[in-house]
Amino acid sequence: MKYFRVHTMDIAWITQQPRGIFTAIGKLVDAGTLTEQETAEYWDNRKYFEEVLPVPPFYEQGNPDGAITWFKDTPEGNRIWEEMKFYRAMGAKYGLKFYMSECEEAPGEILYEDEFQIAVKGMKPDVDIVTKLLALSQ
C-alpha cells in the first residue's frame, strides 16, 4: 500500500520528525498570526476533522512513543486530503513550505491504523521515502 504525509521541514520536539500540516497551521494560530476570521475558520475546520478523522488514542497520553501519522493512498485518505483546503490556503498565505513524502510500505512500526491513516514510530532506515515540495496550489 502507498502512504503519504504532508509536512514542513520544521522538526517537532515530541516526534523528532517534520511537523505535519495540522500542527503547522495550529502553530500559526498559537502565535496569533491568523486574522480573527481565519482563526474562527481554523477552529471550525479543526472541529470538523476531529469528527470525521479518527484521532489516534495515544495523543490522549501526550504521544509517548513520538508517533507520526501518514495518510493511506485510498479513497478515504485521499478524500480527507482534498478536504484540507483551508490548511493549504493558510500555509500558502503565510509562506509555509509544505512537502509531500510518499512511500510504498509502512515507514515504521504501526501503532495505530484506521481507514484513513496509519501512525508509526521508529522510522525504518531502509524504507524508500520520496519527498517533494508541494505546489502551493495543491
Cα 41 → chain centroid: 18
Look at the chain and count its residues.
138
Strands 68-72 and 3-11: antiparallel
Cα 108 → chain centroid: 16
Residue 70 is placed in which grid cell?
501518514
Confidence of residue 137 (pLDDT cuts 50, 70, 90): low
Average pLDDT of the chain to the nearest whole number: 95
Q: Supply the pLDDT for residue 135.
A: 85
Q: Which pLDDT tens digit goes with each residue over 17-30?
A: 999 999 999 999 99
